[in-house]
Homo-oligomer: A and B are copies of this chain.
Amino acid sequence: MSETTTTDLYEVTMALSYLRERMTEPATFSCFVRQLPPDRGFLVCAGVESVLNYLSRYRVSLADARSFAEVLGRPLHALLPLVGTRFTGTVRAVPEGRVVLAGEPLLEVTAPLPQAQLVETCVLNLLNHQTAVASKCVRCVLAARGHAVVDFSLRRTHGTAAGLQAARLAALTGFAGTSNVAAARALNFPAVGTMAHSYVEAFENEEAAFTAFARCHPGPVTFLVDTYDTESGVAVAARVLRALDRADGSAVRLDSGDLKELAFRARAILDAAGLPRVRIVASGGLDEFAVHDLVASGAPIDIYAVGTRVGVSADAPFLDSAYKLVEYAGRPVMKLSSAKVTAPGRKQVFRRPGCADVIGLADEPAPAGSLPLLTTVMRHGMRSASSLPLDEAQRRLAAEVAQLPAAARKIRSPEPVRVTASEALMELTGRVRQRIEHEVFGTPA
């Protein structure tokens, strides 16, 4: 199955029609999120790398045309105009791992209209998924207030490819590690892991299980202590760690029950056993809300392992994202249908400190004290800028997030940062609306 056929059918029928009408002038599509989901004060841009890889490879082969013809019930020759199409356009984008806000373009594609249309589905898919997950991940890091957060999401992401992305976005947003071996290897990111309840159950008792595990694995170990009863499990773990002299860097993991209460009791048992440096890992359905409450409670938890709810961004598994035509053949366009009005023209985001952003037109000068956020990352279908290494992008994001208004960084009911439109953009919007109302409805121009 080719990547090129992984598209909505309508991209193909529209592109064919554009070619037939010789509508191949440059078109600009702008990809943005209309509204933030509840409990998001800002988003973290992600997916741009995947989009650029996709566009670099994009090609309609004869086999693709045959697939299109087959599902359309048309003869192959009707699809031949598409064969050989590559993406030869320009892409301007917000770098991965920068804060973005509602209404701000994450990415703008400018290419001959049929090309810009054909790539819509995958561009939206990649940006939407990865931005949603990155925006969830960074909230976990915020909630942990300096405690380590690790990614255990692979078992519940939407397929394994989504699991790899979740781990990458965890790294981008400041997690300390992932359980996903393939991701850890590919990203040069720490792999972390403990043991399962089944491991403990497969032995006669916890002491035998912990001892066997430590025997096999030199260095720090993490014992899962809640298979039968958490407090007695911690006591067994303490005994084994002391007996084998393996306390250094080791930990116990709590995976069920009242994590706050159990963390205090586990800490007391470990301290009483003379193991003040054995750490406590908490897991089990955690997300940024649970982490926030545990941190606020003062629970002596050192590492938060988040999984399912974060890897699928459970409370907001999608964004209200759009890929909208904003200019065709040099003419700004917009959509007027109810509740989905889009602003016309190629845009730029002018970022001021604290993300007090102004959305303006691509060609207008940057307002004083602002820097343009979108940069040209692809020209003539070829990447024209390389991306920052993951660790540098992570540091840049951390600095940017730290500068956001405190209300936007809140875990519960954050206030989205407000964005303003430049005068030039507002003026253009009014002008285009008038022109469309005149052209389409016959109102006075």
**Chain A interface (Cβ within 8 Å of chain B)?**
1-3, 5-10, 12-14, 16-18, 20-21, 23, 27, 29, 67-68, 70-74, 113, 117, 120-122, 124-126, 128-129, 133, 152, 154-165, 179-182, 184-186, 190-199, 201-202, 204-206, 212-213, 215-219, 226-230, 232, 255-257, 308-309, 312-314, 317-319, 321, 323-325, 328, 333-340, 436, 439-441
Contacts and interface: CB of A to CB of B under 8 A. Distances in A.
A109 B255 CA distance: 24
B158 A333 contact: no
B335 A227 contact: yes
A16 B217 CA distance: 9
A162 B160 contact: no
A130 to B, nearest CB: 9
Nearest to A179: B8
Contacts of A440: 205-206, 228-229, 232
A182 B219 contact: no
B441 A232 contact: yes
A195 B70 CA distance: 19
Nearest to A335: B197
Given A20-B215, A229-B441, A154 B318 contact: no
A12 B324 CA distance: 46
B182 A5 contact: yes
Contacts of A17: 199, 212-213, 215-217
A86 B113 CA distance: 50
Contacts of A201: 325, 328, 333-335
B309 A185 contact: no
Contacts of A16: 216-217
Given A201-B334, A256-B340, A309-B318, A213 B13 contact: yes
A231 B180 CA distance: 52
Contacts of A213: 13-14, 17
A23 B206 contact: no
B155 A121 contact: yes
5 contacts: A7-B180, A9-B179, A18-B202, A126-B160, A230-B337
Nearest to A122: B160
A198 B29 contact: yes
Nearest to A313: B317
A161 B161 contact: yes
Most chain B CB within a 10 A radius of its CB, from A159, A230, A334, A339: A159
B6 A154 contact: yes
B256 A182 contact: no
Contacts of A232: 440-441
Given A6-B182, A13-B193, A158-B317, 12 more contacts: A1-B182, A5-B185, A8-B193, A9-B180, A20-B215, A21-B216, A70-B185, A117-B196, A198-B325, A205-B439, A228-B335, A257-B337
A229 B195 contact: no
